[in-house]
Amino acid sequence: MASVASSPISFAASFLRTKPFPLSPRFLPIRTLRCALSSEPIEFDISFAPPKPTPSSPRGNTAFQQLFIPWIVRGEDGKLKVQSQPPAHLIHALADATTQNPKKKVKKKKPQASSSSSAVTSSSTSEPKLSKAARRYYNENIKEPPQRLSKVLAAAGVASRRTSEELIFDGKVTVNGSLCTTPQTRVDPTRDIIYVNGNRVPKKLPPKVYFALNKPKGYICSSGEKETKSVVSLFDEFMASWDKRNPGTPKPRLFTVGRLDVATTGLIIVTNDGDFAQKLSHPSSSLPKEYITTVAGDVHKRHLMAISEGTVVEGVHCVPDSVELMPKQHDIPRARLRIVVHEGRNHEVRELVKNAGLEVYSLKRVRIGGFRLPSDLGLGKHVELKQSELKALGWKS
């Protein structure tokens, strides 16, 4: 039993005469609703029927009944009544509020012409702005510091480092509009404006490349452009297709690491990395270099002893790391020697063999450090070196 106190109002009669509100099956319907109208507080006698069994289907065969929301409003006669629609003044107030505060519509950009679309694409793919801490870390740990002017010119493919120094001394190089005659001047090619003989040096330097070449006989290791049978000329086909494979990137200026005389064949490294070349060719690297030499005549123990004792080359007594007589092969009638040296002075192996009283018939270099010339690499052919092969040469990039 529930008791509710209120003023005697006449709307209750009409309210109670109505049928029970249609409710969702989820709610319990009101079975009985009785009320006595008097001046006394209104008393309701409400009882509930037991819940109906839940059908197997949520909706069953009957149509779904919507939830009825009653609105109690005061009519024109001053009496309260129940209706299913909200009052008119509330509808008008909601309409006015919606009109005064309309929702902002997000305008979608329509695709424009191809020129504008490319601009939108470039802006969307542009690199994000970095914080000050990120820029500081990049400048201190990743970005390359300013380099010598002569080194930058050589890396850009202008000329060799020595020729670049001559160009600087001759007053043919300007940096940011000012004449520069000091090769040691530190410059940043990405920011400084450098001109050589009126031609601007590109800001984007070519990537560093490394090759192993099987040098043929008759080719010299000079990088001079006038030399027709130079080792670098064997890369003409590679350089001719550079622009197609690397559009917008300057061509690298290739040169050999160390030298092999014109009559010597075999392994030689070709690159455009000056630091790499200096590291490998410097005597302090102590990289072992293995040669196979074919000699005329028979080789005896005394010849091997004489080679092992060494000889004077360029005023320095050079001793090989090892010398070995190789087994004979049926297709090679001449005797062959395997000689390993680490200094690699000019004509060192030839001088060692000559000092032992033997005549060199052919000479071929087959190994530098831990990298051996591939057996399937033909004469005049080259192969690009992998990172692991560079490590075998003792280079840590």
Q: Torsion-angle region of residue 88: left (phi > 0), alpha (psi -120 to 50) or beta?
A: alpha
Higher-scoring residue by pLDDT: 387, 60: 387
Model pLDDT, residue 180 = 92
CA pair distance 189, 197, nearest whole angstrom: 17
Q: Check whether 382 has a pLDDT greater than 90.
A: yes
Q: Which pTM was predicted?
A: 0.60
Residue 17's pLDDT band (cuts 50, 70, 90): low
Q: Check whether 334 has a pLDDT greater than 60.
A: yes
- Range from 225-229, 266-270, 334-338 carrying the lowest mean pLDDT: 225-229
261 catalytic residue (yes or no)? yes
Mean per-residue pLDDT for 101-127?
52
Taking every pair of C-alpha atoms in the chain, what is the biggest distance, in angstroms? 144
Q: Check whether 111 has a pLDDT greater than 90.
A: no
CA pair distance 129, 164, nearest whole angstrom: 37
Could you tell me which residues are beta bridge partners of residue 50? none
Higher-scoring residue by pLDDT: 105, 176: 176
Which residue ranges form the domains of the chain, and what is each CATH number? 2-50+64-90 (no CATH), 147-200 (3.10.290.10), 210-282+377-392 (3.30.70.580), 288-368 (3.30.70.1560)
CA Rg value for the chain? 47
Higher-scoring residue by pLDDT: 63, 372: 372
Residue 344's pLDDT band (cuts 50, 70, 90): confident
Residue among 96, 261, 273, 376 flagged as catalytic: 261
Residue whose pair of structure tokens reads 């309701």 in the numeric block: 44
Burial of 26 (0-12, 13-18, 19+ CB in 10 A): exposed
Residue whose pair of structure tokens reads 């504008």 in the numeric block: 116
Q: Check whether 30 has a pLDDT greater than 60.
A: no
What is the overall mean pLDDT for the chain?
78
* Cβ–Cβ under 8 Å, residues 366 and 292: yes
What is the three-class DSSP state of 247?
A: coil
CA pair distance 48, 36, nearest whole angstrom: 19
